[in-house]
Structure 1
């Protein structure tokens, strides 16, 4: 038989989070006496002192600090349990929220979503285009159901999804192409690099070589492609995304001595698999199926030669 109730733990956590009994009462819409009673009853039932006397301020005892961490986990799990029950009660979800890193092939994403929509015609789909740690940030905040990211999600489930090829490119008339020899990292340092900003709130992640003395930072790869196509810099860009520009020679692969072609792993992630509805599970299954059945990639003609061989 449990000695404490979830409601008592909720009152205890509210006191800590709000910074006092009066503030907690406002937070949980209870009277101050009700909050006091719940916390004191919790202490008596457990035989543990949760708070220390510190004037007007509420301060956790050493035991209270430990119990707070456990109570926070317990209440989070209880919320997840109710969310699972709600999902089961509702059956098929009406909305699917997906965060997808902008380097993931759009045509593949659209093909998967088309299949899902055929099975769930009333489903509303929200797509968040993210960069670097942006997808995981949205997953952590609970703002999306599924994420596709270049980083594994440490607070849930992640699996290897696919590799994305990046190629170093610049406009054919860019000074780097006029060197007429294999390009070194020292050569790159003297020219402007175009990079894409992390879309998470913290913006802590960086990716790729970032050694150029001059750097322009943009918020989307399309902007980067536009800038480089005008001869204003160089960058590593997803090969699949810039194939039209390589074909019409708006862009050309740089003949780097090393690292002209790079690969980055993308991960499929979500927080709690039990909370995923039928549409979300269908999306994941179709995404895996589409990737398994992709034809083998072939080398792009613009990547032939020593630069590709040394990648």
Structure 2
């Protein structure tokens, strides 16, 4: 027989988050006496004090801090359990929210989405394009169900999805191409680099090699491609995205003395697989299949350009 109830743990958590019993009572829409009574019964049942007075406020005891970590996990699992039950009750979900890093090939993504929409024609799909930490930030805040991200998540599920190849490129008339010799990193440092800004509000970073003295920072890879096609800089760009510009001669790989191709891993991430409905599972299955067809620089012949 359990000594404490979920409601008592919830009141305990509310007092900590609100900073006191009166504040917690307003937050959970209960009387101050009922919140105090629930926490008191919890302390009595456990046989340990969870709070101690600190002037007009209360603060956690050492034991209370330990209990809070466990209580947060317990309440989070309880919420997940109810969410799973709700999904089972509803059957097929009506909405699928996906965060996708902008380096993931869009044509491949569209194939996946189209296949899922054909199978679930009433499904509403919400797609959020992100950069670097942006996808995982949206997943953490429960704004999306699935994330395709350059970073694995600490809590939840992360699976290696595919490798994205980045090619160092510039317009054929760019001064770097006029040197007519293999380029070094030192050569790149004296020319303008175009980089992409992190879309996460929590962690700000920029993508790729950042050794150039002059940089322009943009919010989307398509902006970077457009700038470079006009001869205004160089960048490391995803091969799968710039294939049309390479084929049209608008972009040309830089002849670096060391490999002009770099690889980055993308992860498939979600918080709890049990909460995903059949449409989400169909999306994941088709995504895995399509990701196996990504081109490589060697296969496309761009390493010899």
Would you say the 8 A contact 2:197–2:207 is kept in 1? no
Residue in 2 that maps onto 1:229: 229
Q: What does 1:4-19 correspond to in 2, within 5 Å? A: 4-19=4-19
Report the Cα offset of residue 271 of structure 1. 0.6
Q: CA deviation at 1:106?
A: 1.0
User: Residue 295 of structure 1: CA displacement?
Assistant: 7.5
- 1:204 Cα deviation after fit: 3.4
CA contact (8 A) 2:197 2:204 kept: no
Deviation at 1:59, TM superposition (A): 0.8
**Counterparts of 2:295 and 2:218 in 1: how far apart (Å)?**
32
Between the aligned partners of 1:89 and 1:210, the Cα distance in structure 2 is 50
Partners in 1 of 2:178 and 2:193 — Cα distance? 17
- Match of 1:176, SS? helix
1:94 matched to which residue of 2? 94
| Structure 2 residue aligned with 1:156 | 156
- Residue number in structure 2 paired with 1:308: none
Task: Please report the TM-score for the alignment, with normalisation by the length of structure 1.
Answer: 0.94
2:189 match? 189
User: What's the offset of the Cα at 1:63?
Assistant: 0.8
Please identify, of 183-192 and 197-206, the stretch whose mean Cα deviation from structure 2 is larger: 197-206
Match of 2:75 in 1: 75
Secondary structure (helix, strand or coil) at the match of 2:147 reads strand
RMSD across aligned positions (CA): 1.3
Listed as ranges, the gaps of 5+ residues in structure 2 are none
Name the SS for the 2:159 alignment partner: strand
Which is further off, 187-196 or 110-119? 110-119
Q: What's the CA shift for 1:289?
A: 2.2
**Structure 2 counterparts to residues 237-248 of structure 1, below 5 A:** 237-248=237-248
Name the residue aligned to 1:123.
123
Displacement after TM superposition at 1:229 (Å): 1.0
Could you list the runs of 5+ residues in structure 1 that have no partner in the other structure?
306-311
Cα gap change, 1:67 to 1:302, in 2 (>3 Å): closer
What CA deviation, in whole Å up to 9, does each residue of 1:93-139 have, x standing for no partner?
Answer: 00000111111111111111111111111000001111111111111
**TM superposition shift of 1:174:** 0.9
Is the CA contact 1:140–1:155 (under 8 Å) kept in the aligned structure 2? no
TM-score (norm 2): 0.96
Q: Helix, strand or coil for the counterpart of 1:143?
A: coil
1:201 aligns with 2:201: yes
2:285 aligned partner: 285
Counterpart position of 2:28: 28
In structure 1, the residue matched to 2:261 is: 261
**Which segment is superposed worse, 8-17 or 296-305?**
296-305
Displacement of 1:205 in angstroms is: 3.8
**Contact 2:96/2:145 (8 A) holds in 1:** yes
* C-alpha distance in structure 1 between counterparts of 2:46 and 2:303, whole Å: 69
* Deviating more after overlay: 205-214 vs 1-10: 205-214
